């Protein structure tokens, strides 16, 4: 695509500052300059500190203008230009609006030295289809993915020199994990599909595990190219995705791979929640297969739009989901009548795509166009979905569970726990502690304590559990787990008639 760069020298209006913290402004204005090097599609857009939207869409400009016009922009015949950013708008991210450039939208990407600048331009989106907030989020999410991808690629190059299981390997993997809050662990995998080294040390029990049958491992070995897996249910109860880069020996042969295990929910929540706070939109993210990676209601995360019974009463939503799955961007609408609603509402939806190495995530924004605007955020009761607390309270009234515990039927109890675990995505474990404060067992068993005396545990979690058991009270709290990470505990007392059986409780890992 040939673009007349002089047209980008039109007035720019700063629209919003920062998705992320501010940097203290300096006294002088910052001049950034660079050369146009790349033109790409929206799906491949890479963004960092500065975004330019080059079409005017007042109806979708949710962010109010700050009233500052940036006019000191120049270009030369080679496409090189300079843009002066006033100190008041300095920061990790600046969103600016260009008034009359029809080329589409553009993204200015600054490197760490703030010397080199790339301009990435795409054709304009159709008017009235894509909200500005959605474009902003697409850029922000893609930036996080691209930075992880770049850092993993760099680590793979380092590991090619040091080897996949040397002393330096652990240093490289630890440094990689520490750069990204959304990464669970980092590891090296040899050419046979065996995990060699894992960091941090809380996950080193996975060393020696054979993962050669996993689809992304097979794909990397066949193509010898980087891969991002589809999300899958990790043993910790949340959905995870694996990002892998090949590692080559000095002779050019594939020696294995470097891998990051990512928690999409945590990544997406960190970017989306603060960006849409106060906006009249509902933002959610799904894979094309229907798996929901992020939703403001955590109880919906991990469910599948197409297969979960929760969504079957809403055929228009399912039809729209099919369109979202089939197309990288677009818009549509559906009518929604939730439980307890007296009148249906019509919602419009727009979506865009982010992703890496051929694996896509759809980022969807919905808003009410007809009906009660308060219904923009789908409430759990309207969907017929119980919160974790309500679902656990309902479980304590289950006659079969009460009979199994009174009879000492461990297998029947575990079957009931398993059903609860599978119908409530996102749980790390569901467990039973009896009236004497002994944690008897739970599901999954590898995430649960067996015959553990909470009175002698002397951990924050066990102390809170003892208090709840003795008080026979429902409660919830957050506490560190013995095996690492922090868990959110939801506790409910359990009776069989007048007999107090202790408590059942769930644990969700905190994002």
User: CATH number of the domain at 388-509, out of 3.50.50.100, 3.90.550.10, 3.90.1010.10, 3.30.450.20?
Assistant: 3.30.450.20
Q: Where are the domains of the chain?
A: 5-124, 388-509
| pLDDT for residue 189 is more than 90 | yes
Decide if 465 contacts 489 (C-beta within 8 A): yes
pLDDT range class, residue 388, cuts 50, 70, 90: confident
Percentage of the residues of the chain whose pLDDT score is greater than 70: 69
Give the contacts of 406 (CB within 8 A, at least 6 positions apart). 496, 499, 501
For residues 275-279, average pLDDT? 74
What are the phi and psi torsion angles at 69 (to 5°)? Answer: -105, 130
Half-sphere exposure of 255 (CA within 13 A, CB side): 18
- The model's confidence at residue 415, banded by pLDDT at 50, 70 and 90, is very high
Mean pLDDT, all residues of the chain: 74
Q: What are the DSSP E strand ranges found in 18-87?
A: 30-35, 50-53, 69-70, 73-75, 80-85
Radius of gyration of the chain (CA): 26
Kindly tell me if the per-residue pLDDT of 30 is higher than 90: no
Q: Parallel, antiparallel, or unpaired: how do β-strands 106-110 and 50-53 relate? A: antiparallel
Query: What gap in Å lies between CA 35 and CA 58, rounded to an integer?
Result: 30
DSSP bridge partners of 17:
94
Taking each helix axis as running N to C, give the angle between helix 264-276 and helix 132-162, from 0 to 180 degrees, rounded to the nearest 10: 150
| pLDDT at 26 (0 to 100) | 33
Place of tokens 């605007």: 373
150 and 356 in contact (C-beta within 8 Å)?
A: no
Q: Higher model confidence: residue 185 or residue 374?
A: 185
- 67 pLDDT more than 70: no
pLDDT at 177: 92
Distance CA 190, CA 58 (A): 53
Q: How do strand 452-453 and strand 438-443 relate by DSSP bridges? A: antiparallel
CA distance 85 to 52: 13
pLDDT band, residue 373 (cuts 50/70/90): low
Note every long-range contact of 216-219, with CB atoms under 8 Å and residues 24 or more positions apart, other chains counting.
Answer: 216/242, 216/244, 217/189, 217/193, 217/244, 217/257
pLDDT digits (tens, 9 = 90+) for 307-335: 988 888 889 999 999 999 999 999 998 88
What is the model's pLDDT at position 56?
29
Compute the half-sphere exposure of residue 267: CA atoms within 13 Å on the CB side of its CA. Answer: 30
> Region 277-281: what's the mean pLDDT?
72
pLDDT band, residue 96 (cuts 50/70/90): very low
b/e per residue 470-500 (b: at least 16 CB within 10 A): eeeebbbeebebeeeeebbbbbbbbebeeee
**φ, ψ dihedrals at 282, nearest 5°:** -115, 120
CA 357 to chain centre: 17
Beta bridge partners of 294: 285
Task: Output the pLDDT for position 493.
Answer: 96
What gap in Å lies between CA 77 and CA 311, rounded to an integer? Answer: 56
496 and 403 in contact (C-beta within 8 Å)? yes
Sorted by sequence, the CB contacts under 8 Å of residue 132 that are 6+ apart come out as: 53, 57, 60, 61, 62, 63
Structure tokens at 8: 């980008």
Cα angle 186, 192, 198 (rounded to 5 degrees) comes to 20
The pLDDT value given to residue 486: 85
Arithmetic mean of pLDDT, 230-242: 81
| Confidence label for 284 from pLDDT (cuts 50, 70 and 90) | very high
Instruction: Point out the least confidently predicted range of 9-23, 134-148, 234-248.
Output: 9-23
The answer, as to whether pTM is greater than 0.75, is no
Asked if 393 contacts 505 with a C-beta cutoff of 8 angstroms, the reply is: no
Burial of 265 (0-12, 13-18, 19+ CB in 10 A): buried
CA dist., res. 442 & res. 237, Å (int) = 13
Mean pLDDT of 473-494: 89
Kindly state the tokens that stand for 493.
Answer: 């007392």
Are the beta carbons of 26 and 85 closer than 8 angstroms? no
User: Running DSSP on this structure, what letter comes out for residue 230?
Assistant: P
pLDDT band at residue 174 under the 50/70/90 scheme: very high
First-to-last alpha carbon distance for the chain, in angstroms, is 41
């Amino acid at each position: 695509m040939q673009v007349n760069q002089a047209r980008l020298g039109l007035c720019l209006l700063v629209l919003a500052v920062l998705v992320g913290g501010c940097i203290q402004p300096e006294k002088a204005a910052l001049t950034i300059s660079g050369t146009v090097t790349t033109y790409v599609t929206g799906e491949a857009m890479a963004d960092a500190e500065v975004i330019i939207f080059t079409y005017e869409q007042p109806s979708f400009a949710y962010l109010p203008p700050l009233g500052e016009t940036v006019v000191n922009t120049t270009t030369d015949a080679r496409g090189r230009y300079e843009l002066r950013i006033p100190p008041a708008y300095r920061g990790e991210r600046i969103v600016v609006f260009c008034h009359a450039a029809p080329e589409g939208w553009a993204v200015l990407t600054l490197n760490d030295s703030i010397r080199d600048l790339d301009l990435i331009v795409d054709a304009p989106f159709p008017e009235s289809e894509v909200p500005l907030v959605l474009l902003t989020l697409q850029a922000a999410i893609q930036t996080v993915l691209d930075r992880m991808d770049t850092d993993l690629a760099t680590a793979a190059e380092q590991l090619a020199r040091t080897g996949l299981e040397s002393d330096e390997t652990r240093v490289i993997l630890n440094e990689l994990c520490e750069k990204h809050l959304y990464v669970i662990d980092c590891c090296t995998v040899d050419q046979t599909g065996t995990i060699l080294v894992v960091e941090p040390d809380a996950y080193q029990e996975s060393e020696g595990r054979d993962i050669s049958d996993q689809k992304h491992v097979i794909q990397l070995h066949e193509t010898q190219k980087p891969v991002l897996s589809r999300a899958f249910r990790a043993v910790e109860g949340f959905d995870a995705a694996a990002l892998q880069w090949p590692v080559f020996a000095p002779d050019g042969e594939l020696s294995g791979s470097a891998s990051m295990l990512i928690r999409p929910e945590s990544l997406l929540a960190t970017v989306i929640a603060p960006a849409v706070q106060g906006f009249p939109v509902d933002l959610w993210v799904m894979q094309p297969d229907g798996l929901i990676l992020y939703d403001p209601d955590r109880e919906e995360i991990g469910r599948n739009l197409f297969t979960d019974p929760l969504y079957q009463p809403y055929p228009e939503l399912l039809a729209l989901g099919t369109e979202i799955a089939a197309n990288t961007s677009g818009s549509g609408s559906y009518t929604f009548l939730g439980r307890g609603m007296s009148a249906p509402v019509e919602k419009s939806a727009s979506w865009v795509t982010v992703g890496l190495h051929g694996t896509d995530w759809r980022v969807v924004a919905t808003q009410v166009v007809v009906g009660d605007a308060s219904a923009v955020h789908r409430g759990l009761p309207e969907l017929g979905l119980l919160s974790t607390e309500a679902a656990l309270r309902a479980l304590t009234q289950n006659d079969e569970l009460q009979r199994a515990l009174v009879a000492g039927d461990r297998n029947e109890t575990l079957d009931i726990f398993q059903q609860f675990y599978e119908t409530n995505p996102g749980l790390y474990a569901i467990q039973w502690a009896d009236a004497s404060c002994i944690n008897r067992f739970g599901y999954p068993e590898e995430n649960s304590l067996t015959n553990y005396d909470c009175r002698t545990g002397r951990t924050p979690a066990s102390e809170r559990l003892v208090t709840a058991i003795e008080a026979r009270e429902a409660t919830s709290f957050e506490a560190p787990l013995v095996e690492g990470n922090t868990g959110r505990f939801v506790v409910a007392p359990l009776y069989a008639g007048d007999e107090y059986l202790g408590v059942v409780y769930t644990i969700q890992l905190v994002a």
